[in-house]
């Protein structure tokens, strides 16, 4: 199986305090992977380090067997909503159109084919009718869908999404999950920072459990168990480790959409 992402001995510190310790893992192509862990576990930091947005104290990251700067246009990154300046004067269409620029380069401007493709991406996430709206005037769920449209417009091979379901309603979450599954079916690799242990085993076929250090990584059926969850979350989530056991024994129905 092709290794699309390789992380070796990655340590990241903020103001001298380590946030990630010696993370070492690989991710195969074509999976839908969830990154789970308690608050402060370094989940968002891991994505930022993969993208080269925060410096690593030690270690290295390779994507498609190359440094990220050499393959950046093949990677789409959707940050947390809280990290975006929503007062920036841009329309929904303008934001989604940003997704095509990595493929165009510095000197080409989007033409009719690119603009038509962006409208298709907005249609796919249910936001075409909002194309002329200011991005800051949308609800949280709508903003999230616009950023997903921008990622789709990039037509990347690897998608990194940081808490895409935070603050969205159930219907929006179901729609986003359906789109991510379509992307996976089309051969894309999708990595999602996620916080809901109830839905995680239904959404992801690959998991990384993180608590500053990597607790476990691999196929969901091998990783999502009470022992690993207890190691990752400690005493904070005793009830949820019990929940995981019930799920594995098929005594508790998973949330369905």
What are the contacts of 138-141 at 24+ separation with CB within 8 A?
138/92, 140/81, 140/166, 140/167, 140/168, 141/167, 141/168, 141/169, 141/172
Asked if pLDDT for residue 184 goes beyond 90, the answer is: yes
More confident residue, 57 or 172: 57
Q: Give the model confidence (pLDDT) of 88-121 as tens digits.
A: 788 999 999 989 887 776 677 888 899 999 999 9
For residue range 137-154, list pLDDT tens digits in order.
888 888 888 889 999 999
Note the pTM of the prediction, 2 decimals. Answer: 0.86
pLDDT band at 168 (very low <50, low <70, confident <90, very high): confident
Mean of pLDDT values over 217-233: 94
pLDDT digits (tens, 9 = 90+) for 5-45: 999 999 999 887 889 999 999 999 999 999 999 998 999 99
1-64+160-166+199-250 adopts what CATH topology? Rossmann fold (3.40.50)
């Amino acid at each position: 199986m092709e290794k699309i992402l390789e992380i070796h001995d990655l340590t990241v510190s903020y103001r001298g305090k380590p946030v990630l310790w010696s993370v070492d893992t690989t991710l195969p192509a074509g999976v839908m992977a969830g990154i789970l862990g308690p608050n402060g576990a370094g989940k968002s930091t891991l994505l930022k380090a993969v993208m080269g947005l925060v410096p690593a104290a030690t270690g290295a990251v390779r994507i498609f067997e190359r440094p990220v700067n050499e393959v950046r246009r093949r990677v789409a990154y959707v940050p947390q909503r809280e990290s975006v300046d929503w007062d920036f004067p841009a329309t929904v269409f303008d934001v989604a159109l940003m997704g095509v620029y990595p493929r165009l380069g510095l000197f080409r401007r989007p033409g009719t084919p690119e603009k038509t493709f962006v409208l298709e991406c907005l249609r796919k996430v249910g936001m075409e009718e909002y194309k002329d709206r200011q991005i800051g005037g949308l609800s949280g769920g709508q903003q999230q869908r616009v950023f997903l449209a921008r990622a789709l417009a990039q037509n990347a091979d690897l998608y990194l999404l940081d808490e895409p379901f935070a603050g969205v309603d159930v219907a929006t979450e179901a729609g986003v999950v359906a789109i991510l599954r379509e992307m996976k079916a089309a051969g894309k690799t999708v990595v999602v920072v996620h916080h809901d242990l109830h839905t995680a085993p239904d959404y992801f076929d690959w998991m990384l459990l993180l608590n500053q250090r990597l607790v476990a990584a691999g196929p969901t059926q091998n990783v999502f168990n009470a022992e690993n969850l207890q190691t990752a979350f400690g005493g904070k989530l005793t009830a949820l480790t019990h929940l995981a056991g019930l799920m594995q024994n098929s005594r508790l129905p998973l949330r369905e959409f």
